[in-house]
Structure 1
Amino acid sequence: MAREPLKVLTESMFYVLLSLLRQERCGTEIVRYVDDATAGRVPLGPGTLYTILAKFQEEGLIREAAVEGRKRTYAITDRGRALFRQELSRLRLCVADGEREELASERLLPGMREEAP
């Protein structure tokens, strides 16, 4: 059976690509960037990070830009940028759908809020 290319990114995957948009980074720099960008909301442990990096390399979304001993620095490829833009567009549509539906529900039931039990 043929492999299915990535179509939708997990939150961790999204932030790994985001971290590489402006500059090349090594693994620890990626983790630091994601932690700072999300105020710790998206934890990125070594197992998750290196699984994502391997998958992204396999898919041609990133490449190794430099290797110094055990330190590997990664760069996003044109294909990775295209997938990032596609995912960003998809997420914007999701947010717009959610905001539209929330606004519509508030118009139908003004003042009605679910109370916690």
Structure 2
Amino acid sequence: MLTGAGFHVLLALAKGPAHGYAVMRFVEQVSDGAVRLGPGTLYRTISRLLADGLVEETDEDDPGAPHDARRRYYRLTGPGEQTLRSEVALLTRMVEAAREAGVT
């Protein structure tokens, strides 16, 4: 099971490679500002995901973004995609259970 931050990072990378700031923006936008990953949390999370083989650094970048040689881009690996799918399935079951319990 992933941490919340880990889930958010994998979800942000599901559409393709991104750099850290783009991941932070995605999470904030998708959560309507309810979740904000600070740089420390973000990069500790990315380090764990790299060590676990769920993401990897890539030379690919966003052609629409200004070039910055310091930016590191990350992408999902096969195991990262499978982990994300498993986590989404678990969350879906939890939402269904909440509905059945009358919570939503």
Asked whether the 8 Å contact 1:64–1:74 carries over to 2, the reply is yes
Asked whether the 8 Å contact 1:18–1:84 carries over to 2, the reply is yes
Q: CA RMSD in A?
A: 1.6
1:46 to 22, 39, 61: 39
CA displacement at 1:22 relative to structure 2: 1.1
Give the aligned partner of residue 6 of structure 2: 13
CA displacement at 1:58 relative to structure 2: 0.2
The DSSP-based 3-state class of the residue aligned with 2:59 is strand
Q: Which of these two proteins has the greater Rg computed from alpha carbons?
A: 1
Give the aligned partner of residue 85 of structure 1: 85
Identity of aligned residues (%): 32
**Counterpart residue identity of residue 97, structure 2:** D
| Superimposed CA distance per residue, residues 70-111 of structure 1 (whole angstroms, 9 cap, x where no aligned partner) | 2110010010000000000000111111111127xxxxxxxx
- Aligned length, in residue pairs: 96
Q: More relative contact order in 1 or in 2 (CA 8 Å, sep 6+)?
A: 2
Gapped regions of structure 1 (runs ≥ 5):
1-7, 104-117
Gapped regions of structure 2 (runs ≥ 5):
61-67
Give the aligned partner of residue 25 of structure 1: 18
Give the aligned partner of residue 49 of structure 2: 56
Per the normalisation by structure 1, the TM-score is: 0.76
The DSSP-based 3-state class of the residue aligned with 1:28 is helix
Distance 1:66 1:53 in 2: 16
Per the normalisation by structure 2, the TM-score is: 0.85
The DSSP-based 3-state class of the residue aligned with 1:88 is helix
**Does 1:36 find its partner at 2:24?**
no
